Amino acid sequence: MRPMGKNISELSGRQGLEENLFEQIGRITKESDKDRKERLEKLADEFLIGKANVYGAASFYDFTREENKGKEIYVCNGSACLTAGTQNKLHAAICDKFGKDKTGEMVCLGRCHENNAFHYKNRNYSGNDINQLDEIIAGRYTTKEKYHVGATGNPVLTRPYGDIDNYYKIWKTALQIDKDALLHEIMESNLRGRGGAGFPMTFKLESCKNTPGDTKFIVCNADEGDPGAFSDRYLLEERPHSVLMGMMIAGYIMGASQGVLYIRGEYPEAVEICEKEIQRLHQAGFIGKNIKGSGFDFDFKIIKAQGAYICGEETALLSSIEGQRPEVRVRPPYPTQQGLFNKPTVVNNVETLACLPWILQNGGKAFAGIGRGKSTGTKLISLDGHFNRPGLYEADMGTPMRVIIDKLGKGFRVPVKAMHIGGPLGGLVPVSKIDDLTLDFESFNQGGFLLGHASVVCIPQEFTLAKYIEHLFEFTAHESCGKCFPCRLGSTRGKEMFQKALNENYKIDRTLLNDLLDTLETGSLCALGGGLPLPVKNALHYFEEELRPYLA
């Protein structure tokens, strides 16, 4: 018997990407109030799937969930806004205007560089924007977000690419080159995935290329959910053609004619920019049928996500596009064998794909010549509002972290005790360790941390670390897909432990906490439950004195 999820993949795939199940669920939950249930049931009938499947998906996401209906404005509850301490005041001001019932929360709007972030009518605001709330409501105010962009070393991703026609010469040339030769170039570059795992890109491309099938997909994972990270957002908004061309090149090599750009719903501006630029590509004849007489067809589909961190995990992301409840899938089969709609699929991160045009233009060897050891090329880094010069930076892999913090970020604005680097599942790096680390996968691993997305959220000296750990457990409990019990239950138990220790006369049993962390680490199916223990263990190791009053 085939697993149920596989059958739903097939049934969802019969409709293909246009008017797909996921988008229709999103539309119905937004539009309908009284007839919502009936419309969702009708949709299930149309797709020949169970009503429970559609209900399971609709009740999962922050934006489609029934209990969140009626929210008009959303306050960011991401880690950087939390440690900046800006959100309580902001929340109060917003509730004053809209009332509690209409005020919701969103997990990280990618405005970590200036905090005070909120979302209203498909637009994000931050910094001093809250002072213009009346103007925003009246539709007379446009956000003036600004952040510093800089580079040290080789600007691979942040360099301006100028005229689009000229830039797409890379694409026109690629279409005339043998696919194996292109693959070889990427192999020589040693490009490793920037989405967290650092997996060599060529392996996936080659595997998918060699898997038989007429229909294949290249999926760009633009669900940048890590609170603190805004590097994918930068690329989508400021360098969209590097991302789009990267997808086209990958698609051409492995034989995929459809590229799916899955962008988080918290980035409405990125969605609009990419939609516009795809139109331009159509007009210029760089995508469509028989592109420039090459015999190759390629087109894009943008999917706007509906608010769920776990959709950044690649198999959950594929289930999400199919309109299934986004639960992490057991591997094998790998997406390159059975991915979207059960077809061979490569999923890559935005930044990984954005490196491809540079690699083809300058050669794989040139890319491999930048960086350190097995970490080649450059890496984007997001620095939060605790830096004197917050912003988005690019540095060669292997650059000392001291250079990034002092030269690029110009040091800390306030006394900082630790940095949470690489998202919620990354390590908690005490400032005393800065001089031991360089910006690359190996250095972070050896130091007992994780490079991840290279986002930096600072924990100021006066911020209670136990409160930060409570936040991490709470985040995981909220975002867990619920497939495996160590994560589903363990994250909630951890949250309760720290909540009680912070608010009541309760001390956490250290043995119990250690058991919980070990169970999460060894028993979780994916890196959400499996990765949460890392920052907690780092905190227990480096900040034992501060945490001691909370422990039995």
Angle at the Cα of 495 from the Cα atoms of 527 and 232, rounded to 5 degrees: 40
Q: Give the C-alpha separation, 233 to 228, whole Å.
A: 11
Size of the site for ligand FMN (CB under 6 A): 21
Interface with ligand SF4 in residues 447-486 (CB under 6 A): 480-484
Q: How far is the CB of 335 from ligand SF4 (least distance, A)?
A: 15
Q: Which does 481 bind (CB under 5 to 8 A by kind): ligand SF4, ligand FMN, none?
A: ligand SF4
In sequence order, what are the beta bridge partners of 551? 508
Residue 513 found at the interface with ligand SF4 (CB under 6 A): no
Asked if residue 333 has a cis previous peptide bond (ω within 30° of 0), the answer is: yes
Residue 129 found at the interface with ligand FMN (CB under 6 A): no
Helix axes 240-254, 231-238, angle to 10 degrees: 90
Distance linking the first and last C-alpha atoms of the chain:
50
DSSP state, residue 330: P
Structure-token pair, residue 453: 């997305």
Q: Give the C-alpha separation, 368 to 363, whole Å.
A: 9
For the window 290-319, what string marks contact with ligand FMN as x by the rule CB under 6 A? --------------------x-xxx-----
Residue 429 found at the interface with ligand SF4 (CB under 6 A): no
118-120/73-76 β-pairing: antiparallel
Residue 321 found at the interface with ligand FMN (CB under 6 A): no
Residue 197 found at the interface with ligand FMN (CB under 6 A): yes
The residue among 487 and 517 lying less far from ligand SF4, judged by its C-beta, is 487
Asked if residue 533 has a cis previous peptide bond (ω within 30° of 0), the answer is: no
For the window 268-307, what string marks contact with ligand SF4 as x by the rule CB under 6 A? ----------------------------------------
Contacts of 284 (CB under 8 A, 6+ apart): 164, 165, 168
Q: How far is the CB of 264 from ligand SF4 (least distance, A)?
A: 17
Angle at the Cα of 201 from the Cα atoms of 456 and 397, rounded to 5 degrees: 40
Q: Which does 193 bind (CB under 5 to 8 A by kind): ligand SF4, ligand FMN, none?
A: ligand FMN
Residue 308 found at the interface with ligand SF4 (CB under 6 A): no
Residue 529 found at the interface with ligand SF4 (CB under 6 A): yes
Q: Which among 218, 185, 460, 441 is positioned nearest to 339, based on CA atoms?
A: 218
Q: How far is the CB of 312 from ligand FMN (least distance, A)?
A: 2
Q: Which does 512 bind (CB under 5 to 8 A by kind): ligand FMN, ligand SF4, none?
A: none
3-state per-residue secondary structure call for 174-209: HCCCCHHHHHHHHHHHCCECCCCCCCEHHHHHHHHH
Q: Give the C-alpha separation, 208 to 218, whole Å.
A: 10
Residue 199 found at the interface with ligand FMN (CB under 6 A): yes
Residue 194 found at the interface with ligand FMN (CB under 6 A): yes
In sequence order, what are the beta bridge partners of 379? 395
For the window 321-350, what string marks contact with ligand SF4 as x by the rule CB under 6 A? -------x----------------------
**Is the distance from CB of 380 to CB of 284 less than 8 angstroms?**
no
Rounded to the nearest 5 percent, the helix, strand and coil shares of the chain are 50, 15, 35
Q: How far is the CB of 378 from ligand SF4 (least distance, A)?
A: 30
Q: How far is the CB of 429 from ligand FMN (least distance, A)?
A: 20
Out of 236, 270, 528, 547, the only residue in the binding site for ligand FMN (CB under 6 A) is 528
Positions touching ligand FMN (CB under 6 A) are 193-197, 199, 221, 223-225, 310, 312-314, 347-349, 352, 526-528
Positions touching ligand SF4 (CB under 6 A) are 310, 328, 480-484, 487-488, 524-526, 528-529
